[in-house]
């Protein structure tokens, strides 16, 4: 039976990919489907027809100015380069838009930042690419697979070249791309940083780690900022001219005084913000030009309105909700243009914009309908964003997502519910205009009113995957604990928000006075998180233990022998701890150097002046100008497969001695008698096919699959899970960031469970070679949670989630299980139950797997279909196949009884 | 738009109501009822207008109300030193000057107008405390008498995912029921008597509309129907009537009833309204007679719950 699928064995082994019974033979569509306004419908249709496009304008002008200023003070040089780039960006306004501006003049445009890293988008024949590959910098790219549908340009077509696996570049811009990239050779953050990384004594190990893809990628050369919450306060409160005036005053104060870096910083801010000012005014000019030649009366009026707003906000603080929203968007895009960033989150935008919204509603200049139109326009703007980085980063980690997380709910400064009516409309607009960005999270607190919770459930039920449900109290405990040495208070902890996927980020409250009323609005006050030690595939670390430091996939030695005979389970656990510690240590040292190079060569100017308290203390983010700097972390992936594997080893090899370690390794070498996932073309366990000799390893494989599995409230494996979690969360504190602060644990998988699974051989839990790990960090391995969601919740909460920056639980529920009003209320009860147990996060895909299979086969029919991956929602057709397979295989909860 | 569409006349709102539907609930009493049952325990719910309630024991006979009344409906009983209201002269005026001038709270009004927004605010507040499985129950009076308001409240609750229940006499045009049933999860449907003439004698109306409506509602799938009957000794507790009731319920395809023993807790309110309570306070059904009725229902395979002993 060479074509026998894993599925056939699954029943024998008692794995269930389906919890509850299948009631109906028909594929269940989505219960709630809403439509955007006609205006936004048009913009969305346009977006669907648009591909990811590269524009070289920004990098060209940036590079040109930078080179002209050879020898100047770095932050001034940087600010001048940014200013020149902003001044030269071609403004583009699309018909029907109420909010304007974007990263480039394309609807869906982005560009490389070769000053950070230039190798990954060069052709594979280029020396720059080859050198980087040798150093293990591109190993993750090599094992990552892109989704071929939607707006991804995975292959060159006609006059359009595919760059970095996803982006389309016009052929005539290729010479500029190459010239610009070459100009940064030996000058980029990556090239300079790499020189100094080599001075770390264990550097050779680091290269091996990267080549083996034990770690996904270098943090400092890829996405040095992001996973943080932006702060729009200063532009909203003072306007652009207000900030310039403030800086000019400060320059007078600090010039010639000690701590002179402040002088350059304030000057850099003035330069940078002048660039933004011209960029805004160029859009005003463009709007005037369009208004003049427009024949349609209504559209002409709209262009004129845009021009007036842009002229106003180019110097002054907002008058209206729309002004305020435009300011937020302008500065959001400005920051994303400054650096290579994913996960720059708007934070609690409903609470931030509420003062202006309330004012407009009270004086009758705004209605709920016009608010909805603006919010839908905002959704399109955020969705149009692309992040240009390497294939490993954008594809393997982010799945093309940009993680602009908008948070609803939470508490206000005084500890009362912070939910408001504008947030109800934000939720509604996320249903009418269902697009991946901004993704929503609801900061669940017992104090939140039921109506916003039920609205969030309704939104969850649309199948978009957002909002993610976050435990406000657990997160506040983490924030209090992590930032206590930097003076965090309970009141300030309440201003926290999610930055990026699920990264709890510190914030602060700042006052707004409007019409005699005082409002305290939340905003980010910490530096980038998810920098430091990037995703480590922990089952791979265990694999190295079994192979005594060798990577069996590449045949390369990564670590020296651990010296254990592995005669007892305790020895396995100790050897694992040893290798894992070594990995974290080496990566931490190297990444600190990378970030040091980053802050010296490309100091952030725009994000710095936005973030409290850089502007008041005259220091940029790299000089610890932000209020909170304990933000470097250690990210893991595949923890559940590690725990399941340890349980299998403990039980089968050491306690019951059903087979020996040598026999197990032999079975692993032979992938338990299955073909490799690449050969099969599917990356989920169920779809794997047996080779003719499968019988030889069938017994061992069955024992591995039958070993206790996480997610069933089984103390045998939950004890191992608790031990792993507690040890991991504590050991992170032993390593220190560039800013001399302890590291902490971050447990989100994003999409890394795909590529990291791809490089890991079969594991002792019965998982096959090359297949995807369990998603997230609290999700059970697909099909192994047989006792329903309550047992899964019990397993997940057997340890204290506030020890970690986050945890992640993805659940797939069949639409029939939460059907109707009663179903909606019950879904809330399920969520509440997990939150009350201290679970940090849960999110849902409410979808029929058969619909996803249909979509995999017929991508054209499903251009708009969105699914939740891990902390983000993405268009199905833009996901790589391994991740698609993994989502289909997730245990599906259906109605029982 | 007239006020009736946006405002409702309410005479009480009770949070943490635990017997009128599943879970912990908020119970809203709407004023006005098409029936006038002699044993009614909420007599202030019968009239569709605000009503003056006079607490004679608080009155000190100081003539303030006499001077304030424009209809000259109030005079002082010199001997007892208390005010006396001639309800045949009292116009039930909306100003209620007499009430305003009384410093001793002897004169109060039953019934106040609330907008839907105001009521929803109260409901959204209470909602925080119901826990799982609670909701709103509209009662009265009969909420169907304030059809427009009732419909809006139920719709708003329904849209906010709030569980809705209503207790009704069933005496309303079918079109009105059709207008609200989409927004209703649960209905308490009162049965007084199966015989039309007996029904009219005790409530003032025949029961044919009521029974017709019951039949139609009973056919609906998405609504839980709970019949309710107050057991009034000597009126509807005969073997024939209980049996007929059971057969009717069976006949419409339902299988549950909640029987409530007659009580006289509302009797004192009659006096406050200037009415007389015509029931002998000693007339209450015995435990045995309730059990006896339950058995008859049981013989017809109908689950019968006595008083507060319900599975919800």
Phi/psi at A26 (5° precision): -80, 145
Residue B159 in contact with partner chain A when CB distance is under 8 A = no
Interface test with B, best of A447, A451, A459, A819 (most B CBs within 10 A): A451
A501 is catalytic: yes
Q: Angle CA(A110)–CA(A114)–CA(A117) in degrees, nearest 5? A: 110
Using left for φ > 0, alpha for ψ between -120 and 50, and beta otherwise, residue B81 falls in left
Over range B273-282, report the average pLDDT.
89
pLDDT at A14: 44
Cβ A817 vs Cβ A848: under 8 Å: no
Instruction: Tell me which residue in B132, B160, B163 faces A451 most closely, judged by beta carbons.
Output: B160
Over range A456-477, report the average pLDDT.
95
**In whole numbers, what is the pLDDT of chain A averaged over residues?**
92
Q: What are the residue ranges of CATH 3.30.70.20 in chain B?
A: 51-110
CATH architecture of B51-110: 2-Layer Sandwich (3.30)
* Contact criterion met (CB < 8 Å) for A451 and B158: no
| DSSP run (H or E) holding A521 | strand A517-524
Q: How confident is the model at residue A148 (pLDDT cuts 50, 70, 90)?
A: low
Burial class (CB in 10 A: 0-12, 13-18, 19+), A808: buried
Cβ A408 vs Cβ A443: under 8 Å: yes
Over range A568-594, report the average pLDDT.
98
Interface test with A, best of B161, B164, B165, B183 (most A CBs within 10 A): B161
Residues of B whose CB is below 8 A from A458: 161
pLDDT digits (tens, 9 = 90+) for A669-723: 999 999 999 888 888 877 889 888 889 999 999 999 999 999 999 999 999 999 9
Burial class (CB in 10 A: 0-12, 13-18, 19+), A407: buried
* Contact criterion met (CB < 8 Å) for B163 and A825: yes
Residue B224 in contact with partner chain A when CB distance is under 8 A = no
Angstrom distance (rounded) from CA A237 to CA A254: 24
**In whole numbers, what is the pLDDT of chain B averaged over residues?**
93
Residues of B whose CB is below 8 A from A829: 132
Residues of A whose CB is below 8 A from B128: 449-450
pLDDT at B136: 97
The candidate with the shortest Cα–Cα distance to A752, out of A145, A132, A227, is: A145
* Contact criterion met (CB < 8 Å) for B160 and A458: no
Residue A821: pLDDT over 90: no
* Contact criterion met (CB < 8 Å) for B127 and A829: no
Residues of A whose CB is below 8 A from B182: none
Angstrom distance (rounded) from CA A273 to CA A275: 5
Residues of B whose CB is below 8 A from A818: none
* Contact criterion met (CB < 8 Å) for B127 and A457: no
Residue B105 in contact with partner chain A when CB distance is under 8 A = no
Low-confidence winner among A681-690, A850-859, B79-88 (lowest mean pLDDT): A681-690
Sign of the torsion angle spanned by Cα atoms A92, A93, A94, A99: positive
Over range A149-172, report the average pLDDT.
87
Percent of chain A with pLDDT over 70: 96
A588 is catalytic: no
Angstrom distance (rounded) from CA A262 to CA A256: 10
* Contact criterion met (CB < 8 Å) for A449 and B163: no
Catalytic position from the list A503, A543, A878, A894: A503
The candidate with the shortest Cα–Cα distance to A726, out of A638, A637, A632, A639, is: A639
* Contact criterion met (CB < 8 Å) for A825 and B132: yes
Q: How confident is the model at residue B96 (pLDDT cuts 50, 70, 90)?
A: confident
Residues of A whose CB is below 8 A from B124: 449-451
Residues of A whose CB is below 8 A from B158: 821
Interface test with B, best of A445, A821, A831 (most B CBs within 10 A): A821
Low-confidence winner among A395-399, A469-473, A804-808 (lowest mean pLDDT): A395-399
Closest residue in B to A450 (Cα–Cα): B128
* Contact criterion met (CB < 8 Å) for B127 and A450: yes
Residue B283: pLDDT over 90: no
Task: Give A90's DSSP letter.
Answer: P
Residue B127 in contact with partner chain A when CB distance is under 8 A = yes
Angstrom distance (rounded) from CA A360 to CA A318: 12
Percent of chain B with pLDDT over 90: 82
Q: What are the residue ranges of CATH 3.20.20.70 in chain B?
A: 3-47+112-306
Residue A394: pLDDT over 70: yes
pLDDT at A2: 39
- Specify the fold of B3-47+112-306: TIM Barrel (3.20.20)
Q: How confident is the model at residue A783 (pLDDT cuts 50, 70, 90)?
A: confident
pLDDT digits (tens, 9 = 90+) for A85-144: 999 999 999 999 999 999 999 999 999 999 999 878 877 777 777 777 777 777 777 777
Q: A374: helix, coil or strand?
A: helix
Q: How confident is the model at residue A17 (pLDDT cuts 50, 70, 90)?
A: low
Angstrom distance (rounded) from CA A609 to CA A606: 6
According to DSSP, the β-strands at B224-231 and A550-551 are: unpaired
CB within 8 Å of B121: residues ≥ 6 apart: none
Over range A482-486, report the average pLDDT.
97
Catalytic position from the list A215, A407, A501, A637: A501
Angstrom distance (rounded) from CA A165 to CA B222: 53
Distance from CA of B221 to the nearest CA of A (A): 14
């Amino acid at each position: 039976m060479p074509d026998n699928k894993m599925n056939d064995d699954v029943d024998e082994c008692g794995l269930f990919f389906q919890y509850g019974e299948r009631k109906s033979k028909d594929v269940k569509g989505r219960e709630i489907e809403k439509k955007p306004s006609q205006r936004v419908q048009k913009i969305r249709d346009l977006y669907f027809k648009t591909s990811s496009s590269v524009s070289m304008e920004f990098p060209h002008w940036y590079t040109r100015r930078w080179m002209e200023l050879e020898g100047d003070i770095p932050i001034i040089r940087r600010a001048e380069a940014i200013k020149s780039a902003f001044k030269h960006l071609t403004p583009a306004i699309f018909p029907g838009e109420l909010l304007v501006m974007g990263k480039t003049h394309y609807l869906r445009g982005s560009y490389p930042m070769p000053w950070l890293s230039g190798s990954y988008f060069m052709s594979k024949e280029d020396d720059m690419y080859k050198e980087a590959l040798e150093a293990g910098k591109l190993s993750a790219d090599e094992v990552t697979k892109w989704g071929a549908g939607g707006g991804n340009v995975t292959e060159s077509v006609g006059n359009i070249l595919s760059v970095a696996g996803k982006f389309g570049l016009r052929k005539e811009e290729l010479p500029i791309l190459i010239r610009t990239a070459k100009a940064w050779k030996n000058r980029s953050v990556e090239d300079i940083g790499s020189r100094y990384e080599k001075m770390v004594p264990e550097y050779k190990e680091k290269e091996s780690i990267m080549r083996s893809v034990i770690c996904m990628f270098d943090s400092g050369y890829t996405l040095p900022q992001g996973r943080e919450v932006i702060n729009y306060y200063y532009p909203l409160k003072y306007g652009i001219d207000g900030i310039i005036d403030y800086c000019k005053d400060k320059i007078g104060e600090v010039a010639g005084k000690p701590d002179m870096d402040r002088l350059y910083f304030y000057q850099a801010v003035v330069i940078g913000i002048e660039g933004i000012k011209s960029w805004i005014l160029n859009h005003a000019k463009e709007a005037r030009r369009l208004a003049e030649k427009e024949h349609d009366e209504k559209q002409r009026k709209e262009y004129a309105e845009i021009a007036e707003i842009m002229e106003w906000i180019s110097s002054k603080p907002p008058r209206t909700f729309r002004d305020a929203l435009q300011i937020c968007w302008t500065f959001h895009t400005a920051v994303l243009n400054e650096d290579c960033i994913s996960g720059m989150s708007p934070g609690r935008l409903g609470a931030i914009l509420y003062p202006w919204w309330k004012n407009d509603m009270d004086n009758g200049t705004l209605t709920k309908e016009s608010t909805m139109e603006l919010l839908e326009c905002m959704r399109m703007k955020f969705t149009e964003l692309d992040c240009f980085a390497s294939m490993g980063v954008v594809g393997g980690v982010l799945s093309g997502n940009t993680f602009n997380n908008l948070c609803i709910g939470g508490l206000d400064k005084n500890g009362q519910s912070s939910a408001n009516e504008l947030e109800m409309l934000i939720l509604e607009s996320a249903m009418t205009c269902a697009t991946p960005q901004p993704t929503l999270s609801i900061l669940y607190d017992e104090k939140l009113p039921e109506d916003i919770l039920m609205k969030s459930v309704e939104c969850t039920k649309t199948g978009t995957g957002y909002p993610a449900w976050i435990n406000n109290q657990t997160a506040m405990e983490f924030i209090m604990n992590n930032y206590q040495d930097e003076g965090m208070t309970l009141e300030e902890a309440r201003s926290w928000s999610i930055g990026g996927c699920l990264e709890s980020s510190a914030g602060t409250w700042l006052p707004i006075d409007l019409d005699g009323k005082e409002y305290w609005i939340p905003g980010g006050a910490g530096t980038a998180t998810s920098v430091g030690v990037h995703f480590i595939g922990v089952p791979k670390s265990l694999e190295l233990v079994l192979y005594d430091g060798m990577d069996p996939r590449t045949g390369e030695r990564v670590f020296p022998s651990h010296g254990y005979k592995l005669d007892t389970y305790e020895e396995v656990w100790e050897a694992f701890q040893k290798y894992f510690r070594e990995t974290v240590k080496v990566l931490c040292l190297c990444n600190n150097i990378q970030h040091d190079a980053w802050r010296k060569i490309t100091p952030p100017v725009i994000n710095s002046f936005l973030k409290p308290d850089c502007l008041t203390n005259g220091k940029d983010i790299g000089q610890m100008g932000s209020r909170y700097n304990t933000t470097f972390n250690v990210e893991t992936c595949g923890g559940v497969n590690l725990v399941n594997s340890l349980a299998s080893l403990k039980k089968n090899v050491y306690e019951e001695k059903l087979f020996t370690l040598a026999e197990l390794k032999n079975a692993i070498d032979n992938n338990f008698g299955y073909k490799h996932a690449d050969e099969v073309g599917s990356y989920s366990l169920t779809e794997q096919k047996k080779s003719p000799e499968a019988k030889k390893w069938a017994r061992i494989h069955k024992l591995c699959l039958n070993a206790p599995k996480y997610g069933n409230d089984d103390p045998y494996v939950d004890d191992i899970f608790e031990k792993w979690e507690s040890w991991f969360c504590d050991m992170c504190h032993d390593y220190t960031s560039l800013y001399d602060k302890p590291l902490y644990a971050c447990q989100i998988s994003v999409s890394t469970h795909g590529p990291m699974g791809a490089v890991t051989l079969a594991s002792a839990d019965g998982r096959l070679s090359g297949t995807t790990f369990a998603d997230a960090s609290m999700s059970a391995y697909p099909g192994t949670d047989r006792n329903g969601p309550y047992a899964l919740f019990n397993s997940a909460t057997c340890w204290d989630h506030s020890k970690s920056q986050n945890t992640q639980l993805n659940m797939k529920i069949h639409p029939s299980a939460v059907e109707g009003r009663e179903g909606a209320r019950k879904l809330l009860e399920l969520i509440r139950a997990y939150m009350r147990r201290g679970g940090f996060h849960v999110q849902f895909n409410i979808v029929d797997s058969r619909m996803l299979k249909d979509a995999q086969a017929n991508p054209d029919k499903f251009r708009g279909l969105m699914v939740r991956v891990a902390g983000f929602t993405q268009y199905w057709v833009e996901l790589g196949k391994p991740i698609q397979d993994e989502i289909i295989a997730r245990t599906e909860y259906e109605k029982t009884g | 738009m007239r006020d009736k569409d946006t405002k409702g006349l309410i005479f009480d709102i009770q949070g943490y109501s635990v017997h009128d539907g599943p879970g912990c609930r908020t119970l809203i009493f709407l004023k006005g009822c098409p029936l006038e049952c002699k044993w009614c325990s909420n007599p202030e719910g019968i009239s569709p207008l605000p009503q003056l309630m006079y607490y004679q024991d608080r009155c000190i006979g100081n003539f303030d109300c006499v001077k304030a009344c424009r209809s000259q409906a109030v005079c002082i009983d010199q001997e007892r030193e208390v005010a006396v209201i001639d309800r045949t002269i009292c116009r039930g005026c909306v100003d209620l000057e007499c009430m305003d001038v009384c410093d001793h709270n002897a004169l109060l009004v039953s019934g106040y107008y609330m907008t839907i927004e105001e009521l929803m605010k109260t409901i959204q507040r209470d909602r925080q405390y119901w826990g799982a499985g609670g909701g709103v129950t509209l009662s009265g009076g009969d909420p169907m008498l304030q059809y427009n308001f009732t419909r809006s409240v139920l719709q708003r609750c329904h849209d906010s995912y709030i569980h809705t229940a209503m207790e009704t006499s069933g005496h309303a045009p079918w079109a009105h029921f059709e207008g609200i049933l989409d927004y209703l999860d649960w209905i308490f449907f009162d049965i007084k008597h199966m015989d039309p003439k007996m029904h009219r004698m005790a409530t003032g109306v025949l029961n044919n509309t009521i029974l017709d409506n019951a039949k139609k509602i009973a056919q609906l799938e998405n609504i839980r129907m709970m019949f309710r009957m107050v057991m009034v000794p000597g009126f509807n507790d005969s073997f024939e009537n209980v049996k007929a009731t059971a057969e009717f319920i069976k006949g419409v395809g339902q299988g549950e009833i909640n029987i409530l023993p007659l009580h006289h807790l509302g009797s004192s309110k009659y006096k406050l309204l200037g009415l007389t309570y015509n029931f002998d306070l000693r007339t209450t059904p015995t435990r045995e007679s309730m059990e006896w009725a339950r058995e008859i229902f049981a013989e017809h395979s109908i689950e019968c719950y006595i008083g507060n002993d319900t599975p919800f």
